[in-house]
DNA sequence: GACGCCATTGCAAGCGCTTGCATCGATGAT
DNA sequence: ATCATCGATGCAAGCGCTTGCAATGGCGTC
């Protein structure tokens, strides 16, 4: 039983007693085919189990039915969540999703050199990855719509959250509890891959923290700004460094829940109690934040992905680029890791 | 500055002063092109920034340079990890990865009905998803190599771990510590999507637990077998149910770390101490298991993905199906959540 | 010095679908 | 009854690459 060749349009045409052109039109639901004919064609196609050849179709139309998604990581909570969200809406719309993981290494350079998605996709989605000028040009050269999540690029639709505002809100919460000595765990310097999100959160931290210091007439502690690489281990180390300081923070704001988890662990190992001795506030509302009683800033990650998917669909059907990015709301989720500082 | 049409093979041919056929051969590194000619062609292509049209190439050769990856979830630790691993090796080999997330709903039926990856991929990778007979036939009808992770399918290469053996080892650890009343948190019944992994771990649990009961001349407690849906929340609920039993377990073996996390939480809320009052053992070695001091069975998830990637590459270059699955090793990681039962 | 061989290169026929344009009736208007 | 109109189809020329086969020419051989 040899490998049966897949059926072609002509086979269906013959079976239905019409021309290939008509089959093509009928199958795609294009107008201009008599209802009876269409029915007959569909029946013939079903009988043969016929499926169109994407390659041939793509060659003829220039469309691919695929969107390229470029991510820096796939195995981190935030990104996998995003991917899941966008995949859902694209799949519902009958589009396929081509995944490119730039990784942390030389993959990025190679990706932009080869541009493997060239002519392979109808649109490109970039997740949280700020593009260098040259990279943006490369992507623009593709001639496909570009949408981004978490960054704004000229000529691209984008969706994101108000990082600065959310971080300010988070910091204010700490201040209102009575904290004055607040540390920050963010990204290391220089920021890998050029991420801008950590910087926006850092800026918000500085703004609030320095404001408090000014009020109190104290000088801000620069060592309170630490980097945790957005990983649990990095958060652990950063918290360790903070504990080594003479001037110790009474609260810590981590730019991601994972880093906050790491901080919690270091604190526990050091015999310090949260929130009695130190308050910890995260960012993300990771699945496990609830488990660990972590107060945090919740962001609607899956919705960000879905919104991006819808933007892609809109652009693919001729929509124009929105003049301003879609900003989704965040929300402070208070759990057990934040409280007034000891002695208040 | 209008949308410049992308260059075609002919443009390169003209620039290099050769025929399109020669360009095609030169670009693909096929033998039978003089070295000087090849150099000239490559230079011309580089000058034009030429990139081949995948659609045209695919139409002509029948190859797509793409592999389809079918997953039940992308935003769970285990799966995102797997995807990351396989993506890495495929990308290094110049292949692209088309992601299909079946999701929990009707997506699966629709996927197999439409089979959107038909004629779009050179190989298919199925992650942890046992296939129904009809589904397997569908996939086989694609005529592409099939490899699976975590399940064995006739006619497919597969990679996985020894679930039964690993779970037995885990259970024995508990027994050696002195536990006799051991509960299990696995999948609910019926198992969603037909997953078999939970069943294999359950079987191992039963084997060991019943063995112990037999030795002791006690009757096994059927209520010790609970379902947690492989989520934190599910683990929480399952642990809650266990605590409601008259006959209480002194140790709990969870078939995934996420469920173990949930169990830990329930225990903490109930005022029980781990491991003093109850021991908890997980499965996976999730990123956060270390953080939560969870003893667990570590499985090399990223390596499973990479191995699968290599199997795909091998099959794509003509290799035969291995007669037996690749089994990667697991390892018991003891942390602070397991100890002898109270009173020993 | 003629001949055969082999490495290079070019020719041209696809690969399977889409689509502008022509064709063909049937319908409605005059 | 005649002709314009319009909907439904078919024709055929691509879309951009690959590849079997033929053509070409340089060389070694006898």
Is the Cβ pair A115, B51 closer than 8 Å? yes
Taking the C-alpha atoms of residue A65 and residue B310, their distance in angstroms, rounded to an integer, is 28
**Contact, A30 CB vs strand D, < 7 Å:** no
To test the contact with chain A by mutation, choose from B254, B288, B306 the residue with the greatest count of A C-beta atoms within 10 A, namely B288
Distance of CA B32 to the CA centre of its chain: 42
Contact list, B6 vs chain A (CB under 8 Å): 119
In this prediction, residue B5 has a pLDDT band, given cuts at 50, 70 and 90, of confident
Taking the C-alpha atoms of residue A59 and residue B317, their distance in angstroms, rounded to an integer, is 26
Handedness of CA B310, B312, B315, B316 (dihedral sign): negative
CA-closest candidate to residue B222, choices B278, B163, B181, B161: B181
The model carries a pTM of 0.92
Is the Cβ pair A55, B75 closer than 8 Å? no
CA-closest candidate to residue B118, choices B100, B103, B131: B100
Q: What pLDDT, on a 0 to 100 scale, did the predictor assign at position A247?
A: 94
Q: Is the peptide bond before A275 cis (omega within 30 degrees of 0)?
A: yes
In this prediction, residue B77 has a pLDDT band, given cuts at 50, 70 and 90, of very high
Q: How far is A75 from chain B (nearest CA, A)?
A: 5
For the segment B45-57, the average pLDDT, to the nearest whole number, is 93
Handedness of CA A201, A207, A210, A212 (dihedral sign): negative
H or E, element range at B146: strand B146-149
CA-closest candidate to residue A85, choices B127, B81, B74: B74
Is the Cβ pair B96, A116 closer than 8 Å? yes
Q: HSE on the CB side for B165, CA within 13 Å?
A: 9
Q: How far is A264 from chain B (nearest CA, A)?
A: 9
Q: What pLDDT, on a 0 to 100 scale, did the predictor assign at position A104?
A: 66
Is the Cβ pair A96, B100 closer than 8 Å? yes
The chain B residue lying nearest A82, using CA atoms, is B75
Is the Cβ pair B98, A101 closer than 8 Å? no
Q: What is the pLDDT of residues B171-230, one digit of tens each?
A: 999 999 999 999 999 998 788 888 899 999 999 999 999 999 999 999 999 999 999 999
- Is the Cβ–Cβ distance between B288 and B81 less than 8 Å? no
The C1' atom of D5 and the CA atom of B58 lie apart, in whole Å, by 44
- Is the Cβ–Cβ distance between B67 and B95 less than 8 Å? yes
Chain C: bases < 7 Å from a protein Cβ: 7-12, 14-20
pLDDT(B251) > 90: yes
Backbone φ, ψ for residue B281 (5° rounding): -130, 130
CA-closest candidate to residue A131, choices A159, A98, A155, A167: A155
**Contact, B34 CB vs strand C, < 7 Å:** yes
Taking the C-alpha atoms of residue B233 and residue B182, their distance in angstroms, rounded to an integer, is 21
The beta strand positions in B242-313, using DSSP E, are 251-254, 279-284, 295-298
**Contact, A270 CB vs strand D, < 7 Å:** no
- Is the Cβ–Cβ distance between B227 and B187 less than 8 Å? yes
Taking the C-alpha atoms of residue B303 and residue B82, their distance in angstroms, rounded to an integer, is 8
Helix and strand totals (H; E) in chain A: 12, 12
**Token reading at B89:** 């090796």
Strand B96-101 vs strand A96-101: parallel, antiparallel, or unpaired?
Answer: antiparallel
Q: What averages of pLDDT result for each successive group of 10 residues across chain A (344 residues)?
A: 70 92 91 88 92 95 95 93 95 94 82 91 94 90 93 92 97 97 92 89 96 95 96 95 96 97 94 96 94 95 96 87 85 96 78
Nearest CB among B51, B75, B117 relative to A81 is that of: B75
User: Mean pLDDT score of chain B, rounded to an integer?
Assistant: 92
């Amino acid at each position: 039983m040899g490998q049966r060749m897949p059926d072609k349009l002509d086979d269906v045409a013959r079976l239905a007693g019409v021309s290939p052109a008509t089959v093509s039109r009928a199958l795609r639901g294009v107008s201009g085919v008599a209802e009876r004919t269409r029915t007959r064609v569909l029946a013939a196609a079903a009988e043969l189990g016929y499926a169109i050849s994407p390659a041939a179709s793509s060659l003829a139309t220039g469309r691919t039915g695929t969107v390229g998604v470029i991510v820096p990581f796939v195995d981190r909570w935030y990104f996998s969540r995003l991917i899941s969200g966008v995949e859902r809406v694209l799949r519902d719309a009958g589009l396929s999703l081509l995944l490119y993981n730039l990784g942390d290494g030389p993959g990025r350079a190679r990706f932009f050199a080869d541009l493997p998605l060239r002519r392979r996709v109808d649109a490109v989605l970039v997740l949280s990855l700020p593009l260098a000028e040259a990279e943006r040009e490369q992507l623009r050269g593709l001639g496909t719509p570009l949408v981004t999540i978490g960054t704004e690029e000229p000529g691209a639709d984008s969706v994101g959250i108000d990082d600065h505002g959310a971080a300010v809100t988070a910091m204010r919460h700490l201040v209102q509890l009575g904290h004055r000595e607040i540390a920050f765990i963010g990204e290391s310097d220089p920021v890998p891959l050029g991420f801008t999100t950590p910087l926006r959160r850092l800026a918000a931290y500085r703004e609030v923290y320095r404001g408090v210091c000014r009020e109190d007439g104290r000088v801000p502690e620069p060592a309170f700004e630490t980097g945790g690489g957005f990983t649990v281990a990095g958060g652990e180390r950063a918290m360790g460094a903070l504990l080594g300081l003479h001037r110790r923070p009474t609260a810590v704001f981590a730019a991601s829940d994972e880093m906050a988890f790491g901080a919690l662990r270091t604190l526990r190992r050091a015999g310090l109690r949260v929130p009695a001795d130190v308050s910890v506030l995260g960012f993300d509302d990771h699945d496990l934040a609830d488990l660990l009683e972590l107060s945090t800033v919740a962001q609607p990650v899956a919705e960000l992905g879905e919104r991006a998917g819808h933007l892609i669909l809109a652009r693919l059907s001729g929509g124009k680029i929105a003049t301003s990015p879609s900003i989704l709301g965040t929300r402070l989720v208070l759990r057990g890791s934040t409280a007034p500082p000891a002695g208040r």
